[in-house]
Amino acid sequence: MQINVSQLLRDSIGSSRDYKINETIDSDNDSVIIPVKGEVKLTRTNRSILVQGKIHVSVEVICARCLDIFSYPLTLNIEEEFFPTLDTSSGYTIPPPEEQDSFTIDEHQILDLTEAIRQYTLLAIPMKSLCREACNGHLL
Ligand SMILES: [Zn+2]
């Protein structure tokens, strides 16, 4: 889920571009592929690239009652700043932002959404999910 933002970083502040996303990503344990679909808008700010958009993911979770694996659709409202690490015009390295754990754009001006989507997904998955409202588990 990588977007080259070298051109956008050269654009004036307030410039934006829309991107359609249609991919799959591996989750942390590598066993669950999360299909991802959506649209994001990338806006050049005075210090970063602001990513805003709605992303639909489908994750595989285990039912809290019957322990079956089922796919759970989630909609993520993403709003996240990505900070450049290299100045496009001067070629100098930019010191990391003051905010802890902020996302960065690599030295090739590639903005990678994968980690952000992974984190948003993990936050959005409910603690106890049921494959269906009336699931009584296999014991009954
Ligand atoms: Zn169930």
101 or 124: whose pLDDT is higher?
A: 124
Q: How far is the CA of 101 from the centre of ligand 1 (A)?
A: 36
Q: Specify whether the CB–CB gap between 85 and 111 falls below 8 A.
A: no
pLDDT higher than 60, residue 140 = no
Span 19-44, mean pLDDT? Answer: 84
Q: Residue 139: pLDDT band by 50, 70, 90 thresholds? A: low
Sign of the torsion angle spanned by Cα atoms 66, 133, 74, 124: negative
| pLDDT score for 5 | 96
Q: How far is the CA of 125 from the centre of ligand 1 (A)?
A: 16
Q: Residue 34: pLDDT band by 50, 70, 90 thresholds? A: confident
Residues in the chain, overall count: 140
Q: How far is the CA of 64 from the centre of ligand 1 (A)?
A: 7
Q: How far is the CA of 137 from the centre of ligand 1 (A)?
A: 5
Q: How far is the CA of 70 from the centre of ligand 1 (A)?
A: 8
Three-class SS string for the chain?
A: CEEECHHHHHCCCCCEEEEEEEEEEECCCCCCEEEEEEEEEEEECCCCEEEEEEEEEEEEEECCCCCCEEEEEEEEEEEEEEEECECCCCCCECCCCCCCCCEEECCCCEEECHHHHHHHHHHHCCCCCCCCCCCCCCCC
Q: How far is the CA of 63 from the centre of ligand 1 (A)?
A: 5
Q: Residue 76 and residue 94: Cα distance in Å, rounded?
A: 30
Ion ligand 1: residue ranges with CB closer than 5 A: 63, 65-66, 131, 135
Q: Could you tell me which residues come within 8 angstroms of residue 107 by beta carbon, excluding any fewer than 6 positions away?
A: 85, 86, 93
* Residue type present at position 97: P
Span 42-60, mean pLDDT? Answer: 94
Q: Residue 8 and residue 39: Cα distance in Å, rounded?
A: 17
Q: Residue 30: pLDDT band by 50, 70, 90 thresholds? A: low
| pLDDT score for 113 | 94
* Residue type present at position 134: A
Q: How far is the CA of 60 from the centre of ligand 1 (A)?
A: 13
* Domain ranges (residues) in the chain: 2-124
| pLDDT score for 94 | 85
| pLDDT score for 136 | 85
pLDDT, tens digit, 9 for 90 and up, residues 84-105: 998 877 888 888 777 777 899 9
Portion of the chain with pLDDT greater than 70, in percent: 94
